[in-house]
Structure 1
Amino acid sequence: MGSFNIEMDHANKVMKAEVEGTFTPEDGMKSVEAYQQSISAISVPEYDIEIDCTKLNVSAPDALPILEGCFQMYKRDGFKKVTLRLAKNPILKMQLSRIARSVQLANWEIIEV
């Protein structure tokens, strides 16, 4: 089961999200709803989004469409920058990189911690 937490740092204009575990499609939909509620009160193009993925597991094939949809939302909503923090996990890094490229997300980076 996957879990998520979203915090807004309005002073620094950063949306901070933490995701962990293995997301099911249902978990993914709940995180999308929380995301949409969180951005409803901000001007997204003024904000960065930082996503802590250090406790995230590699996604199962049935959860990949939701993950891809999340990346498409980040692109559509226009965050200044999308930063993904990962533990040393080459498979997860490859999975997230492939999705970012497939949706043509231009302003993203992965930081390994």
Structure 2
Amino acid sequence: MTEKFNVEVDKTKKLFIATVGGFFQMSDAEGFAFQFMQAGSQIQSSEYTLVVNAHELATVKQDLLDLLEQAFKMYMTLGFKKIYMVESKSAITSLQIRKIAEKTNFSGILVKSMDEVK
């Protein structure tokens, strides 16, 4: 993945897929949020499953953990039919994701790969 983030809509499978990777900076987070909201405004979220694919995400710096926490909370308020979070292949990043999921009472499903998304 050369881009740090991408948002795509699979209308056939009714999937809204947000992919993040690499070492995120504040500007990446802002660009991702903009692209996410722009694409999200084009669909009826209650008909779609949200998949946040963080498999390629590198360790998140401390200053971005608050933003990640806010993102988790936002995902749960958008009315998606289901939410999947694909954990990072990095053990440290996956631990960060699991801690934030616990802290925010994340209602989505944590999975290890896209193959587990149903």
TM-score, normalised with respect to structure 1: 0.87
Deviations 1:64-101 (A, max 9, x none): 11111111111010222222223542211111111122
Residue 101 (structure 1) aligns with: 102
Residue 37 (structure 2) aligns with: 36
Are the counterparts in 1 of residues 56 and 89 from structure 2 also a CA contact under 8 Å? no
The one-letter code of the counterpart of 2:103 is S
Residue 67 (structure 1) aligns with: 68
Are the counterparts in 2 of residues 3 and 27 from structure 1 also a CA contact under 8 Å? yes
Residue 52 (structure 1) aligns with: 53
Offset of 1:112 from its aligned partner? 4.5
Offset of 1:56 from its aligned partner? 0.8
Q: Does 1:110 align with 2:116?
A: no
Deviations 1:25-80 (A, max 9, x none): 22111101111101102111221112222211010001111111111111010222
Residue 7 (structure 1) aligns with: 8
Higher normalized strand content (fraction of residues): 1
TM-score, normalised with respect to structure 2: 0.83
Offset of 1:108 from its aligned partner? 2.1
Runs of 4+ in 1 over 6 A off after TM superposition: none
The one-letter code of the counterpart of 2:53 is D
The one-letter code of the counterpart of 2:61 is A
Residue 23 of structure 1 aligns to a residue whose secondary structure is coil
Q: Does 1:83 align with 2:84?
A: yes
Aligned-residue sequence identity (percent) comes to: 29
